[in-house]
Structure 1
């Protein structure tokens, strides 16, 4: 029932539908394993309670564990969420560091609100609107392998994060980056206003920004900015270069250039 599993010790193994109900698993110990466990089958919606509050370290959640609204409040470090775990609205609030999210875990609206550092999200995880909100101070996170693919999927407000391998390919403002030294590669951030980048020092590689108001950007490289308002406010660009529509658009410093250069349709407009 409610508050059914309060786990303060270490190395416990919950299997076969253990701990079913609201606030089912309060886990403060380390190195626990949850399999098919900790489901919120009670209230749903914004006021529903949290199913798995995890403050310990090195816990592993497997096989669809912790499924319910606001299911995984993770403040501990080095936890692993796998195999469709934590699938609910605001499912994974991650303030700890070095956590891993795999195999379709945390797939719901606002699923991954990340304030900790050095977390990794991959293998089709966090694929819902605003799924990956990497907030101020959360640096050195890695989003890869088709993760975080939806509208406003990657709202990045911290430095030194990496987005690669087809990730963040949602619609409107797929990658809103307000900080420096982030890396986007692997055909990522495809969609209208796909790469809204407000600072210098970011790197966008391979197929690049592609559509809509692609790249309010700098340090692009790869296939480059491709279409409509391509590069908008272009600083460095490079490699394939600005490509089409308002290629390079209205630049403010006159430096949009490098390699293939501005290509077609209003190429280098505003330079």
Structure 2
């Protein structure tokens, strides 16, 4: 499908792995000029027209620097994918320190807030900009092991609704994609969330994922999502084909969230 993204300049944060990498690749394949932002090196999957910016989004000055660099290089910004995020397993609410609460919000909410604020003037100039925030099912299915992360992602959802309300009439849409468990390095890397859950449940990573998918947060599909299944929705929401979609939340969790 042609998403009408040829030569559109799109920033993707957290572009070095998982959903961010899959999104950067798909947007590039659709003809977009992708700027991948990450603390880690980004694979050369964004084409000759695209570029990479190394940045730590928890640095309060990074967002303005990134946007200035992109506008200087390309003269415009058509889309922003706020994908960067991360979490750590907690033992419960009382175990979380002040520093951990602040760190969770810095990475999972304030980074996206600062990027959105910095990018909006350029997005407004296009008259047809799009922001997609990557949330989490944890925002609606909070548990004892991630209350700080869940709260930050719920704040992200609220912010997206506010941005949509204020800026959609001016030509900039804002939507949230909410993945459930997705097969990314967040779960699979050594010491990652999958291993943390496995240690808490007294099993191996595969056994822990099986318990989550079938018992703790049962999905109708009985499997984890793949990054490309999430990136396909993100690319659609960035594209002009979704011009009537704003202020929405698109849940990609295999049917785990029981809501009407």
TM class by shorter chain equals under 0.3
Q: When the two structures are superposed, what TM-score results if normalisation uses the length of structure 2?
A: 0.26
Q: When the two structures are superposed, what TM-score results if normalisation uses the length of structure 1?
A: 0.26
Structure with more contact order per residue of length (Cα contacts < 8 Å, sep ≥ 6): 2
Select the structure that is richer in helix.
Answer: 2
Select the structure that is richer in strand.
Answer: 1
Larger Rg: 1
